[in-house]
Structure 1
């Protein structure tokens, strides 16, 4: 019998002896917002050394190497990078993927909601994601680290067990006076529903035996829109492992320019008994997510 489980595709490792600053959360205009103090942001930059980032891929057991997904060997795609954070309680270091998107502040990245919303532990404690940083072009010799000053998800997103509206936005601090959009470029975002199926390039940083999170991995597959009684999601048989959550789903992607248009981000995957991802899904962008993106400049 084949065992399958639908999971949120982030990567984690338990860290020990870690001191973190915990931000306060608040609901505002249909969104749930977390802001980090200046001290929190400084602590995040100090916490995420290159050695700690690499440690996520040095665990004893990692999912098998992707066979559909391939190591990216083209021009570095604009704006795509790796997101790192720490979960408390629990003491987990984790990573996701994220993309710089157009904004007036030039400081906004788009990712999955569950990369920001940790849900609850078994004792019903809120799991907070702290010490959050973003590294555009991770693994390509570029290691400029931007601290998150705030993040938000729509209050229509009900947490990591939900597939609907699993999207989030993050505002980053400039680094040495440079905004992340100027450093890494941006991918355009569209909230118009493309015809199904749609030819798609999916990008992310899966922490598997293929690249251990240290290199960008891609899938080029058609995605099909599926609606059930709970949610409407895009689905494809891409096999990117944990750590790919939040990575962009791009239509009309041009490898020569490294640019396309984001119409979704990696949300969930089905994993078999061997830890192999057999398919991925991305939540259909809703009006609530459109409003979330529109207000990201105020974070």
Structure 2
């Protein structure tokens, strides 16, 4: 039986009303940039050696005098610049001043605030240095290859991709497995770059994460060459974490992979939702991976954060953003690039 026109109209109206009332999936708040090609002649060994470590994002965060009683300054001298010095670093200290690691044991220390990683494994291939140009200055950061649909995805800090509300990085190139100038797996220039909207609009440290889709090298995808770390979201806070990177401010020179390991805690300053890890690594480690569920024997874990900032009155704690829904949206957008 054919429904009457009035019944059909009522049915259509009810359907439209239901569609309007149904929850609409939120649109990911992600900002994208198509990277310009990087000239193969740009990153010469000499230019790489001269690149300076980008500041840990908020090493210069202003800490109120009242909070100093809550979190007293570290008793040892650190690299962190005082709040009034908001400019980028000028020159790196003399090269070669590298903290010597103890003779490697059968298994690396499960708690350390800064040791050379000598256990090998996947992390030595998936972690690398990033070379980039920001506002006409050549910088270095750290980053990690991440498992994603494109097999070309790198995760790092947002400030290693975009200068907060400012411009995007240029000449962005990832060198996995970097060690003392060697590039055993080649180099991978950026083709598309992604940051969360709150980072792009306001340099919000809770969202200091960048994802970069890189080009292939010799026709091979990054993950097919070096492997990739898994990435996780909404993880339970306070899980034992290993943080890796290539610190380049003294006493380090950026030429070796170092790590910190321990149990992270919340931000005692209550200025961010980040977690803090006792860690003496300096600038240049920015963007380095934080891995939970990490197996030192294989060098594999799950990426749950990246090195982001230090407070000016606590040189011994590194903070990293929590990977919640916004970072999940960022990853899902970037992995399809």
Fold conserved between structures, TM > 0.5: yes
Contact 1:98-1:246 within 8 A present in 2 as well: yes
**Does 2:197 align with 1:155?**
yes
1:61: which partner in 2?
93
Q: Please give the secondary structure, in 1, of the residue aligned with 2:204.
A: coil
Aligned length: 257
CA apart distance, 1:210: 4.1
- Does the C-alpha gap of structure 1 residues 160 and 96 become closer, same or farther in structure 2, counting only changes over 3 Å? farther
Per-residue CA shift, 1:228-286, capped at 9, x if unaligned? 764311112211100111111111211211111111111111346xxx93211011112
2:44 to 41, 49, 56: 49
- Does the C-alpha gap of structure 1 residues 240 and 173 become closer, same or farther in structure 2, counting only changes over 3 Å? same
1:85: which partner in 2?
132
- Which stretches in structure 2 are left out of the alignment for 5+ residues? 1-26, 54-90, 100-111
The structure with the largest alpha-carbon Rg is 2
- Does the C-alpha gap of structure 1 residues 223 and 65 become closer, same or farther in structure 2, counting only changes over 3 Å? farther
* C-alpha RMSD of matched pairs (Å): 2.6
Contact 1:118-1:160 within 8 A present in 2 as well: no
Per-residue CA shift, 1:14-72, capped at 9, x if unaligned? xxxxxxxxxxxxxx952111102xxx3242x3211222212236945369866931111
1:257: which partner in 2?
298
Bigger share in strand: 1
1:267: which partner in 2?
308
CA apart distance, 1:208: 2.7
| Superposed structure 1 runs of 4+ greater than 4 Å apart | 57-60, 62-67, 158-161, 227-230
1:289 to 315, 322, 327: 327
Per-residue CA shift, 1:115-161, capped at 9, x if unaligned? 112136xxxxx333101100001117425111100101010225685
Q: What pairs up with 1:29-48 in 2 under 5 angstroms?
A: 29-36=28-35, 40-43=36-39, 45-48=40-43
Q: Please give the secondary structure, in 1, of the residue aligned with 2:47.
A: helix
CA apart distance, 1:227: 7.4
Give the whole-Å Cα distance in 2 for the aligned partners of 1:173 and 1:62. 34
2:175 to 130, 135, 150: 135
2:7: which partner in 1?
none
Q: Please give the secondary structure, in 2, of the residue aligned with 1:212.
A: coil
Give the whole-Å Cα distance in 2 for the aligned partners of 1:42 and 1:156. 27
Contact 2:52-2:138 within 8 A present in 1 as well: no
Contact 1:165-1:286 within 8 A present in 2 as well: no
Q: Please give the secondary structure, in 1, of the residue aligned with 2:263.
A: strand
TM-score by length of 2: 0.70
1:205: which partner in 2?
246
- Does the C-alpha gap of structure 1 residues 241 and 170 become closer, same or farther in structure 2, counting only changes over 3 Å? same
TM-score by length of 1: 0.78
CA apart distance, 1:296: 1.0
- Does the C-alpha gap of structure 1 residues 159 and 184 become closer, same or farther in structure 2, counting only changes over 3 Å? farther
Contact 2:131-2:141 within 8 A present in 1 as well: yes
